[in-house]
């Protein structure tokens, strides 16, 4: 069932600006994400895609503008409000960012142990279910160094889902993966949208994966959102940069 029309947007950004020294990275970005959609953020390297994710999760502070995450104003709110909002968000880092000294199961259990009151048995069941959902339930006792890059990203995704978030953020989820594994990760993202109605924002250079998963695309260029819409409309866009970008990324 679709969300009610008066539902609070999972993410709402208005007039977002961020500079590092004299370099303006984001210059007045504004958008709202609809619940249960996958939005891909595209653009050349250095256009602020990863910075945007860091701002959305509160790892960076905007110079101007507002960010509402899961209904919380994290750009001007308290640290407690930021932490409350973060509990509703799962984040998959580009390199998965697993703890090297923990097993696969311990990595996924970490946020559950820290933020819930589940018993040991309940936590173990939850970890097994999460790893089963990404096809990693047979590797519970392995260390991150013993599995491939694609498998680490699967485990990272299981950990990102540990607290049953309403929002998922992905930083280059298919980077460095072979085409088959990249397609598997893309399929998981779509399944999360279809089965759990999770809202996802995906920063990616992978135009092929973006084409298969995105309900909506935002193309950044020179700090601004040059395009915001569907793939169909992107292909019809006559902007010279868009044409060059599509050609180079194909």
Structure tokens at 136: 């990693």
pLDDT range class, residue 71, cuts 50, 70, 90: confident
pLDDT at 6: 56
Residue 5, pLDDT > 60, answer: no
pLDDT at 95: 76
Sorted by where each starts, the structural domains of the chain and their CATH numbers stand as 35-61+86-249 (3.40.50.300)
pLDDT range class, residue 169, cuts 50, 70, 90: very high
Q: Give the C-alpha distances (Å, rounded to integers) separating 217 from 113, 115, 116, 189, 195.
A: 36, 33, 35, 15, 21
- pTM score: 0.88
CB neighbourhood size of 230 (10 A): 12
Averaged pLDDT, 189-194: 92
pLDDT at 85: 84
pLDDT at 96: 78
- Show Cβ contacts of residue 193 under 8 Å, excluding neighbours closer than 6 positions: 36, 37, 38, 200, 215
Q: H or E segment at 228?
A: strand 224-229
Mean pLDDT of the chain: 89
Structure tokens at 164: 């049953």
Residue 55, pLDDT > 60, answer: yes
Among the ranges given (123-137, 184-198, 199-213, 236-250), the one the predictor scored with the smallest mean pLDDT: 236-250
Q: Say how many Å lie between the first and final Cα of the chain, rounded.
A: 35
Averaged pLDDT, 71-78: 82
Predicted confidence (pLDDT) per residue in 213-223, tens digit: 999 999 999 89
| Nearest CA among 34, 27, 176 for reference residue 96 | 176
Q: Would the CA dihedral through 230, 236, 240, 246 be positive or negative?
A: positive
């Amino acid at each position: 069932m679709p969300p009610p029309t008066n539902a609070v947007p999972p993410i709402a950004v208005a007039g977002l600006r961020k500079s590092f020294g004299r370099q303006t990275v984001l210059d007045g970005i504004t958008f709202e994400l609809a619940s249960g959609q996958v939005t891909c953020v595209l653009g050349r390297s250095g256009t602020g895609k990863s910075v945007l994710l860091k701002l959305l999760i509160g790892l960076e502070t905007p110079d101007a503008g507002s960010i509402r995450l899961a209904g919380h104003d994290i750009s001007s709110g308290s640290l407690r409000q930021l932490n409350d909002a973060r509990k509703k968000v799962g984040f998959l880092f580009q390199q998965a960012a697993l703890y090297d000294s923990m097993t696969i199961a311990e990595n996924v259990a970490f946020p559950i142990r820290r933020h819930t009151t589940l018993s040991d048995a309940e936590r173990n069941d939850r970890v097994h279910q999460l790893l089963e959902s990404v096809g990693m339930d047979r590797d519970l006792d392995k260390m991150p160094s013993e599995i491939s890059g694609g498998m680490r990203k699967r485990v990272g995704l299981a950990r990102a889902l540990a607290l049953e978030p309403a929002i998922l953020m992905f930083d280059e989820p298919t980077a460095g993966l072979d085409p088959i594994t990249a397609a598997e990760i893309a399929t998981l993202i779509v399944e999360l949208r279809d089965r759990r109605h999770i809202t996802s924002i995906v920063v990616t250079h992978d135009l092929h994966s973006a084409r298969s998963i995105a309900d909506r695309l935002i193309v950044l260029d020179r700090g601004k959102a040059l395009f915001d819409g569907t793939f169909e409309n992107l292909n019809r866009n006559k902007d010279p940069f868009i044409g060059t970008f599509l050609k180079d990324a194909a």
